[in-house]
Amino acid sequence: MTRTALITGITGQDGSYLTELLLSKGYEVHGIVRHTSSLIANTSRLDAVYQDPHESGRRLFLHKGDVTDAGLLGNLVRDIAPDEIYNLAAQSHVRVSFDLPEYTANVTALGAVRLLEAVRASRVEARIYQASTSEMFGLAAPPQSETTVFHPRSPYGAAKLYAHWATVNYRESYGMFAASGIAFNHESPRRGETFVTRKITRAVARIAAGIEKHVYLGNLDAVRDWGYAPEYAEAMWLMLQHAEPVDYVIATGRPARVRDFAEAAFAHAGLDWRDHVEHDDRYERPAEVPELIGDPAKIGREIGWRAKVHWDELARVMVDADRAALRAGE
């Protein structure tokens, strides 16, 4: 029997890696794609696996939609009757969430409830993955684990915490197989260009090519636990194959500061980061999350997932990819 998955946020970094993983496992994959006025569809991260709707035997289906539209979600869940649902859609940028708090709550918090409610109302027996985040820990002291008390520091963190508890609540109230992965930062060459790692590695490529001289950053002292996004897609899938719906921290456990990442990225191109990184207050946040370091012991012990790529290798992989893309004129 072909297994079927529905992915919200399929056009994002994680959605694209998860799609590749599920297609490689023989799944039929359905994804929700937002309408834009200027493109037929925002699917550039899916280029490698995109299948023309006129092809026979295709296993990737893209549906126009939005997680702010409850009717659309209800219709899709009922019509597709997926075995697995991955809720990856979000306004996922922390700094942006301070400027768009209500919008962020509508998409990131209420979007999850609309989806849970669509599944409950349809009575489709789908397993649900909710993309929770280490940002929910906020000020809590590291290392953060499944038992750490949450203290979100941004509209995004608060919205994700609401979605997280809604997922727990639907599991406890209705016996649904709904589980949250509390993922720490994960990156890749497909990372959005305004997140700090990709902003740095793109700048390294452009500075090494003589196109630019400087990159402007905010807080260099923030500590993050950066992992490699394709490995996190594997963790999501493994969580839905588990016998029980259980929430897990997904992390490497290896911390680094923003300045460490910058140093490693510039050094990989033979450059000294101190010659090229300037400070700009605009990239500071009204409230910062100073230190996120995950404790991935539980997911390692119970489902055998462990991060292989750590932040310093990640910096090199992303610099190489951005330099290659620049050379190819992308």
Q: Among 2, 17, 56, 1, which Cα is nearest to 183's?
A: 17
Token pair for residue 194? Answer: 């305004």
The verdict on 97 binding ligand G4F (CB under 6 A) reads: no
Angstrom distance (rounded) from CA 133 to CA 163: 10
Cα 140 to Cα 109, 226, 246, 285, 292: the distances in Å are 21, 18, 22, 17, 9
At position 211, the amino acid (one-letter code) is I
44 counts as binding ligand G4F under rule CB under 6 A:
no
Residue 292, binding choice from ligand G4F, ligand NAP, none, Cβ under 5 to 8 Å by partner class: ligand G4F
Q: Is 320 in the site for ligand G4F (CB under 6 A)?
A: no
How many angstroms separate the CA atoms of 155 and 164, rounded? 14
Q: How far is CA 44 from the centre of its chain?
A: 16
2 has catalytic annotation:
no
Indicate whether 103 belongs to the interface with ligand G4F (CB under 6 A).
no
Residue 205, interface with ligand G4F (CB under 6 A)? no
Residue 142 amino acid letter:
P
Task: For residues 114 and 92, give the distance between their C-alpha atoms in angstroms, rounded to a whole number.
Answer: 18
Single residue of 101, 283, 298, 320 touching ligand G4F by CB under 6 A: 283
Binding-residue total with ligand G4F (CB under 6 A): 22
Nearest position to ligand NAP, beta carbon? 12
Q: Is 213 buried (19+), middle (13-18) or exposed (0-12) by CB count in 10 A?
A: exposed
How many Cβ atoms from other residues are within 10 Å of residue 300's Cβ? 14
Binding segment for ligand G4F (CB under 6 A), chosen from 118-126, 219-227, 299-307, 315-323, is 219-227
Q: 3-state DSSP call for residue 91?
A: coil
- Tokens standing for residue 50: 């995109």
Residue number of the CB closest to ligand G4F reads 222
Partner whose footprint covers residue 67, from ligand G4F, ligand NAP, none (CB < 5 to 8 Å by kind): ligand NAP
Distance CA 151, CA 164 (A): 13
146: left (phi over 0), alpha (psi -120 to 50) or beta: alpha
Shortest distance (Å) from residue 139 CB to ligand G4F: 13
Site for ligand NAP in 125-144 (CB under 6 A): 131, 133
Q: Which CB, 40 or 243, lies closer to ligand NAP?
A: 40
d(CA 80, CA 228): 31
Residue 169 lies near ligand G4F (rule: CB under 6 A): no
Span between the terminal Cα atoms of the chain, in Å: 40
C-alpha angle with apex 328: 327 to 329, nearest 5 degrees? Answer: 90
Whether 156 is catalytic: yes
Pick the closest to residue 195 from 93, 311, 66 (CA basis).
93
Catalytic residue among 156, 170, 228, 248: 156
Q: Is 146 near ligand NAP (CB under 6 A)? A: no
89, interface contact from ligand NAP, ligand G4F, none, CB < 5-8 Å by kind: ligand NAP
Q: Is 133 a catalytic residue?
A: yes
Task: State the nearest-atom distance from the C-beta of 115 to ligand G4F, in Å.
Answer: 18
According to the binding rule CB under 6 A, does residue 88 interact with ligand NAP?
yes
Q: Which of 11, 185, 188, 201 binds ligand G4F (CB under 6 A)?
A: 185
Does position 98 interact with ligand G4F (CB under 6 A)? The reply is: no
The catalytically annotated residue of 11, 133, 197, 252 is 133
Question: 223-224 and 256-257 as β-strands: parallel, antiparallel, unpaired?
Answer: antiparallel
Residues that bind ligand G4F (CB under 6 A): 92, 94-95, 133-135, 184-185, 194-196, 199, 217-219, 222, 224, 258, 283, 285, 288, 292
Which residues are identified as catalytic? 133, 135, 156
For ligand NAP, the binding residues (CB under 6 A) are: 8-9, 11-15, 32, 34, 42, 66-68, 88-92, 107, 131, 133, 183, 185-186, 192
